[in-house]
Structure 1
Amino acid sequence: MENRNSSLWIGLGIGSVIGALAYRFSRTSKAKKLKEKVCDTFHKIAGQAEDMLDETKEKAVDAGKIVADKVADKTLDLAEKADDFKSKMHTMASDMKK
C-alpha cells in the first residue's frame, strides 16, 4: 500500500512541475508567436481544403453530366434499333399475310 501512495505522490509532483513549466512557456512571446503561426497555418489548410472540396464537387457534377449524356445517347440508339426492328417485324407480318 505504501508503494502505491509514494508512486501517486511522485506522479503528482512530476505532473505539477510539467504543468508549471508548460504554463510558464505558454506565456512567453515566442509561445504567442508560435500559437499565431499555428492558427494561421490551420486557417490556410482549412481554406485549401474548402477549395479542394468545391473543385471535387464540380468535377463530380461534370462527370455525372457526361455519364448521363452517354447513357441518353445509348438509350436513344437502342430505341432507334427497337423501332427499326418493330418496322421490320410489321413488314414481315404484312408480307406473310399476303
Structure 2
Amino acid sequence: MENRNYNLWIGLGVGSVIGALAYRFSRTSKAKKLKEKACDAFHKIVGQAENVLDEAKEKAADAGEAVADKVANKASDFAGKADDFKSKMHAVASEARK
C-alpha cells in the first residue's frame, strides 16, 4: 500500500514540474508568436473550408437543375408519345365503329 502512495506522490511531483515548465515556456514571445501563427492558419483553413463548401453547394444545385431538366425533357417526350398513342387508339376505335 505504501508503494502505491509513494508512486502517486512521485507522479504528482513530476507532473507538477512538467506543468510548471510548460506554463513557463508558453509565456515566452516565441510561444506567443507560434500561437498567433497557429490561430492564423486555423482561420485560413476555416475560410478555405467555407469556400469549398459554398462551391460544393453551387455544384450540387447546378447538378440538380441539370437532372431536373433531363427528367422534364423525358417526361415531355413521353407525354408526346402518349398523346400520339391516344390519337391512334381513337382512330382505331373510330374505324371499328364504322
Shorter-chain TM band: over 0.9
Q: Alpha-carbon deviation of 1:24?
A: 0.5
**Aligned partner letter, 2:32:** K
Corresponding residue for residue 6 of structure 2: 6
Are 1:94 and 2:94 matched, yes or no?
yes
| TM superposition score normalised by structure 2 | 0.98
CA distance in 2, matches of 1:75, 1:23: 69
CA distance in 1, matches of 2:14, 2:92: 97
**Aligned partner letter, 2:47:** G
Corresponding residue for residue 72 of structure 2: 72
Corresponding residue for residue 43 of structure 1: 43
Q: Alpha-carbon deviation of 1:3?
A: 1.4
Q: Indicate the percent of aligned positions where both proteins have the same amino acid.
A: 78
CA distance in 2, matches of 1:3, 1:91: 104
Corresponding residue for residue 15 of structure 1: 15
Q: Alpha-carbon deviation of 1:7?
A: 1.2
How many pairs align?
98
In structure 2, the gaps of 5 or more residues are: none
CA distance in 2, matches of 1:4, 1:89: 95
In structure 1, the gaps of 5 or more residues are: none
* Segments ≥4 residues shifted beyond 4 Å: none
| TM superposition score normalised by structure 1 | 0.98
